[in-house]
Structure formats: structure tokens, C-alpha cells
Structure 1
Amino acid sequence: MILIADSGSTKTDWRTLDAQGQVGQARTIGFNPYYQDSAAIASELQTSLIPSVQETVTDVFYYGTGCNNEESCGVVERAIRTVFPDAKTVEVSSDVLGAARALCHHDTGIACILGTGSNACLYDGRTIAQLGGTLGFWLGDEGSGGYLGKTLVVRYLHGQLPPELTEKFRKRFPNVDRLTVLDQAYKQPFPNRYFASFSKFLFDNRSHPVAYQLVYDAFALFFDTYIRKFPAYEQLPIHFVGSVAFYYSDLLRQVANDKGLTVRRILENPIAGLTLYHQGVAGAE
């Protein structure tokens, strides 16, 4: 049986794929090797995942947040091998590679993430050929939910929103003021999640020209910052995964079209695409 995982810091989606091609599913908490050690991850898998796995696991393909180097991948791999000692293959990779395989399968293309954060890569059909090089929440993440929310809140605090949007924002978020925002930004954990929570306000008010333009400009910046750096980007298919890309798909496609580009596949999350990818791998083998 093949076990496939797409893990963020909040939740992990799991799929099982047996020899007959039957697919099962499970969900556990999310994992991040920067904050959890192998023992903690193994303990959670033993408690929350094992009851959903009925057959012997032979191959595990795990794609997750924080799995960016050999050390961090090793933390997760040791946990998985502890829980599934019979597994012949345990492959731990970044969420960016997971997005690329979910979106492009075995074809060359540009794979992009637009969710709480953002990223992009050039994919050669199996591995990442070139990373977009995002600088994270404070210095990058252009086009993401965190970026959209941060831009909105900054404009609100500086009095740069039109009166009708300001009043709507104040009614919806009556406790948002300068001191609260600064505390969340610099003293509390996960400021990206905090600011991303405001992005739905933009979605709900996207018919307003100011809200529309804010999102449009953020997406345009994403294309200009990341997509244009890839060789032959104008000839390659461009795909997206993530909640922001999914819910703003019409506007995202409009920005791409205005730049002479075409966005192909847009997925809300990668797990279904990853299952199809590994079904293809299993079939080829």
C-alpha cells in the first residue's frame, strides 16, 4: 500500500492507495519539523493515523511545510520509519514539490502556490528545476493571503481606504487598532495567519474598485516578481494551488491574460493531484 501526505502546519491530508487502485483518506494535525521532533511526530501518527491504515505500508510519499533541507526532512523521515518499519521507500519532500507534482504531474511547467503564503517553481516533470525564491511573510509572499491582509490592514491604519470600506472594516473588526496589530505582528506567533484572516474581507468586497485593485496589483506583483524569472515562461503552462488562487481564480486569470499569459490548472489543495500523480507512478512501475 502507498501512503501519500500533504502536510501544513495546521493539518495533514493523507491518502492510501492499494494494489487494486482503491483510495482511502484520513486527516491528522499538521507537522513542522522546525517545531516538532521525530518522537512527537511519531507519537501523533501512531495515535491518529494508524487506526485508518488497514494494510502494510510499502511506500510513503510525504510533502510538507518546513521540509526544505536534509536535516528537516530527516526529522519527518525518522518518525515515519518508526511508525511504518516495513516501508521500503520513505520520500520526504517540500510542499513546493508536492504542489508541482499535483499540478503538473509528469509534464514540464510552472507551479505556483497562493494560499496563506506564496511560492513558485519551474518543474521538469519530476523534480524542481528552479525555485522562485520567495522571501517569506515579512519580505515577500506577494499575492498571498498574508500579503493581501497585511496590505489591507496597513491601508486601514493609515486612513487610506475610502470611507465606505473603512466603515465596513471597522464594523467587521471592531478590535483592530494600531497597538493590537503591532502586538500580533511582532509579539505573537504566526503573524502570517493573523494577517491572512483579513483577506476574506477583500474577497467579500471585491466588487468595490479599491478592493479589486488591491488584489489585482498583488497578483500582478506575483507574476512580475516570480514568473518572469523563469526561462521561456511565456511558453510554459502556469498552474496554481491554494485557497487564494482557487477563490480568486477569475481575477487571477484576468491578471495573467492582461500580461499575455495563460493560467491552466487551479486547485484548492494538492492532495487529489498528488494521488493521481502517484497512481501514475505506480502504474508505470
Structure 2
Amino acid sequence: MPDTVRDVFFQTYNLTGIDVLNKVYEHPLANRYCASFAKFAGDHLQEDPYYGHLILSAFRDFFRNIVALYPNYQKYKFNCVGSIAYHFRELLERVVIEQGMMPGIIDKDPMRGLITYHRKEML
């Protein structure tokens, strides 16, 4: 992480490196804690290429470590639910295409899709 990025991050959240490590390794729900900083990355995406590279790298890791483990995954559309996928949709779709998949539904919240599905099933 570039020094300038780190300094702005720590100033914005009034944190130190020790604070972050403590929250991630000593407290529950580290994933939510880390995800809470996504807005910061999104707000600064145009200011420094570091943010885009970081997000692309995370999405590529996700594909390599999870999605690519499924047999013939490329023959399916990639659908995803969650605020990270939704807010960084353009970067995620770029990685999806790089990995040989077609982008599908990328939604912020699962409720709309669940309601639509269950309404169809009830008819």
C-alpha cells in the first residue's frame, strides 16, 4: 500500500495499523469490518490507480480460489449478491469476462430476487 494511501486511510478512520490488526484477528466478524472500508476505496477509486488494482486483485483471487474450483464454471453466467459486487460491478464484470464467464445478475440485496422467485412459485 502506498504511503499516501495508508496515511489518508488512517486519518479518515482515526486508526493505526495495530487497531486494524486487532479488529481483524482478535474480534468476531472480521469480514464485515473489512467490508466496511469498501466505501473508502470506492470514494478514492479515481484518485489513485492503487484502489482499482487492489479491487481487481481481490476479485481475481476470489475467482482463482473459489469460482474456478467448480467444474466447467465457464459455461455458466456469473451471478452475485452483495454490496461489494454491486458497488464495484464494472471491475467485477471485467474479471468475470477475463475468466471466460458471462456476467449475469449482480444485485446489492437478495430480497428482490427472493421475492420474485417465491411469487412465481406461488402462482
Give TM class, smaller chain: 0.7 to 0.9
In the alignment, what sits opposite 2:61? 221
| Change over 3 Å in CA distance of 1:246–1:281 after alignment to 2 | same
Matching residue within 168, 190, 194 for 2:33: 194
Cα-Cα RMSD: 1.7
Match of 2:87 among 241, 247, 268: 247
Deviations 1:207-246 (A, max 9, x none): 2211111100110111122222222211112111100011
CA distance in 2, matches of 1:254, 1:186: 31
Q: Higher strand fraction: Structure 1 or Structure 2?
A: 1
| Contact map agreement 2:78 2:96 (CA 8 A) in 1 | no
Aligned positions of 1:128-167 closer than 5 A: 161-167=1-7
- The residue matched to 1:266 in structure 2 has which SS? strand
Return the offset for 1:266.
0.9
Q: Structure 1 residues 182 and 258, CA, compared in 2 at 3 Å: closer, same or farther?
A: closer
CA separation in 2, counterparts of 1:189 and 1:179? 16
Render the CA deviation track for 1:109-158: whole Å, top value 9, x for unaligned.
xxxxxxxxxxxxxxxxxxxxxxxxxxxxxxxxxxxxxxxxxxxxxxxxxx
Alignment partners' CA distance in 2, 1:199 and 1:251? 13
Query: In 1, Cα distance between the equivalents of 2:57 and 2:101?
Result: 16
- Sort the Cα spacing of 1:170 and 1:265 in 2 relative to 1 into closer, same or farther, 3 A: same
Once residues 168 and 270 of structure 1 are traced to their aligned partners in structure 2, the CA distance between those partners, rounded to angstroms, is 33
Tell me, in whole angstroms, the C-alpha distance in 1 between the residues paired with 2:57 and 2:25.
26
CA contact (8 A) 2:74 2:99 kept: no
Match of 2:17 in 1: 178
Change beyond 3 A, Cα 1:275–1:172: same
TM-score between both structures, scaled by the size of structure 1: 0.40
Specify the code of the residue in structure 2 equivalent to 1:196: A
SS state at 1:240 partner: strand
Larger radius of gyration: 1
Give the Å deviation of 1:164: 2.8
Aligned residue pairs total 122
**Distance of 1:232 and 1:252 partners within structure 2:** 20
Distance 1:209 1:254 in 2: 16
Q: Could you tell me the TM-score, scaled by structure 2's length?
A: 0.87
1:222 partner SS:
helix
Q: Tell me, in whole angstroms, the C-alpha distance in 1 between the residues paired with 2:70 and 2:51.
A: 29
